[in-house]
């Protein structure tokens, strides 16, 4: 199946990881000329609710509602139904089969992305789950399961992007957080990659927040990342 190319200004999903809705929307205003995709996570959604989502959509931008739903299937299905008709492009659930099936059954037209393993996890944390394998093994296992169920795509670290493309092909959307330009602080992330590496390895979209937000000149930072993406695509 042929899919239209993703515009360069959509490739970066800017993470609005802020508790102050006014500050978050000021960033949308500041960046919307270069970035057209924004992530609204738990912190901001609890602080600002649906008006934040509506503001972004009304500016002609896209929204990834990143609430990582995980509950009994009936509750997940009812929750995802509340997202309908709000202009949301992606929403996230944890990569557990019954949860993914419930989100898909809501049939909202929103693309469901399954979170495989959080990018703050390393092999030590995975071992604490009593899983007999590596992070890579667990990410691949969960991705295989959710895609078999019809999930639209996955959220994984860029470290696993090449592995998933090699084993699972091209017919799903891959969103990778934990993106850090060369020299950037890792913060609380363990499994990270540069923008160019992530795209070259098969990521479709890159979730980036602090490296842009904290840059001395965000415009220059965005242009550099987009150039790196364009070079990797070429």
Show which residues are catalytic.
68
DSSP 54: H
The torsion angles phi and psi of 217, rounded to 5 degrees, stand at: -135, 95
Per-residue HEC secondary structure of 157-204 comes to: CHHHHHHHHHHHCCCCEEEECCECCCCCCCCCCCCCECHHHHHHCCCC
- Report H helices in the chain: 8-11, 21-31, 42-48, 50-58, 73-81, 97-105, 123-128, 135-148, 161-168, 195-200, 210-213, 218-233
d(CA 228, CA 181): 10
SS3 call for 120: coil
- Pull the structure tokens for residue 196: 């160019």
Other residues' Cβ atoms within 10 Å of the Cβ of residue 172: 20
DSSP 129: T
According to DSSP, the residues that pair with 111 across neighbouring strands are 90
d(CA 172, CA 161): 12
């Amino acid at each position: 199946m042929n899919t239209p190319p993703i515009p360069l200004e959509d490739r970066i999903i800017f993470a609005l990881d802020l508790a102050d809705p006014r500050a978050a929307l000021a960033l949308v205003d500041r960046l919307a000329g270069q970035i057209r995709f924004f992530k609204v996570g738990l912190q901001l959604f609890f602080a600002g609710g649906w008006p934040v989502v509506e503001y972004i959509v009304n500016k002609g931008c896209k929204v990834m509602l990143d609430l990582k739903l995980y509950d009994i299937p009936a509750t997940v299905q009812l929750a995802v139904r509340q997202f309908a008709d709000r202009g949301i492009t992606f929403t996230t659930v944890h990569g557990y089969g019954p949860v993914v099936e419930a989100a898909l059954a809501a049939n909202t037209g929103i693309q469901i992305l399954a979170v495989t393993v959080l990018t703050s996890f390393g092999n030590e944390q995975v071992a604490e789950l009593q899983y007999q394998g590596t992070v890579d093994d667990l990410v691949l296992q969960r991705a295989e399961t959710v895609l078999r169920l019809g999930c639209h795509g996955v959220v994984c670290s860029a470290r696993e992007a090449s592995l998933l493309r090699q084993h699972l092909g091209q017919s799903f959307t891959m969103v990778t957080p934990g993106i850090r330009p060369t020299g950037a602080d890792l913060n609380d992330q363990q499994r990270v990659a540069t923008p160019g590496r992530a795209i070259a390895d098969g990521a479709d979209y890159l979730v980036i927040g602090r490296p842009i937000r904290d840059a001395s000149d965000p415009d220059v930072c965005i242009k550099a990342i987009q150039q790196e993406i364009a070079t990797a695509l070429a």
